[in-house]
Amino acid sequence: MAYSSALQQPALVLNESWVAIRTVPVRHALHLMATGAASALDHETFQLYDFESWLECEVRAHDAFVRTVRSAIRAPETIVLARYKGVPIMLAPFCRKNLFRRDRHTCQYCGVRPSGTDLSIDHIIPRSQGGQTSWENCVLSCRRCNHKKRNRTPSQAGMRLLSTPIQPRWNPLFDLSADSIRESWSRFVRLEAS
Ligand SMILES: [Zn+2]
């Protein structure tokens, strides 16, 4: 686990309609619960717990927990906000890390998934032909395809993209490391985004 304590682990935040909107550290999630702004969601039973009833929940063997003076509190994995309906509509900013995520570390010409150093960012329309550095004009390419395509467009090189690249929607998990993403969130967000 990449986090030194359960208090720093991320918890998924759902709005009132159970739409995932962001993640916050467990410490912050417990604070939101303590002030009545959110309830914890038990992902096995889909029952909601307010702060008082959550404190009484038994910590099961596989649960992350927060130790207090008197007892242990289950670290909530997901909380539901009591009075917030909004959904932030955000698009992912273009950067190297997000491009690797969008293309799932896969060459967009042949579909291989080599180790990171064998993938590079390809400008579909080469910069020398006026191609932009953008979500729509950049894809991951393996060394072999890169070598084959050279400084040409796919049609000039007789190659074809596996899919049309677009700007991905931002996802609440974009900023998290892979080992902090919980399986129980799969009902609310696309886990493979990271
Ligand atoms: Zn390739």
The more confidently predicted of residues 100 and 86 is 100
Neighbours of 123 (CB within 10 A): 20
pLDDT given at position 46: 93
Phi and psi for 58 in degrees, rounded to 5? -70, 140
Contact in structure between 42 and 80 (CB atoms under 8 Å)? no
| Residue 38 pLDDT level (bands cut at 50, 70, 90) | very high
Alpha-carbon span 111 to 162, nearest angstrom: 8
| Residue 116 pLDDT level (bands cut at 50, 70, 90) | low
Contact in structure between 188 and 11 (CB atoms under 8 Å)? no
How far does the centroid of ligand 1 lie from the alpha carbon of residue 109, in Å?
Answer: 5
How far does the centroid of ligand 1 lie from the alpha carbon of residue 137, in Å?
Answer: 16
How far does the centroid of ligand 1 lie from the alpha carbon of residue 119, in Å?
Answer: 8
How far does the centroid of ligand 1 lie from the alpha carbon of residue 106, in Å?
Answer: 8
Sketch out the chain's domains with CATH numbers. 6-89+171-193 (no CATH), 96-157 (1.10.30.50)
pLDDT given at position 4: 57
Beta bridge partners of 63: none
How far does the centroid of ligand 1 lie from the alpha carbon of residue 77, in Å?
Answer: 38
193: pLDDT strictly greater than 50: no
Structure tokens, 190: 């696309």
Run of H or E including 30: helix 26-34
% of the chain residues with pLDDT over 70: 95
| Residue 72 pLDDT level (bands cut at 50, 70, 90) | confident
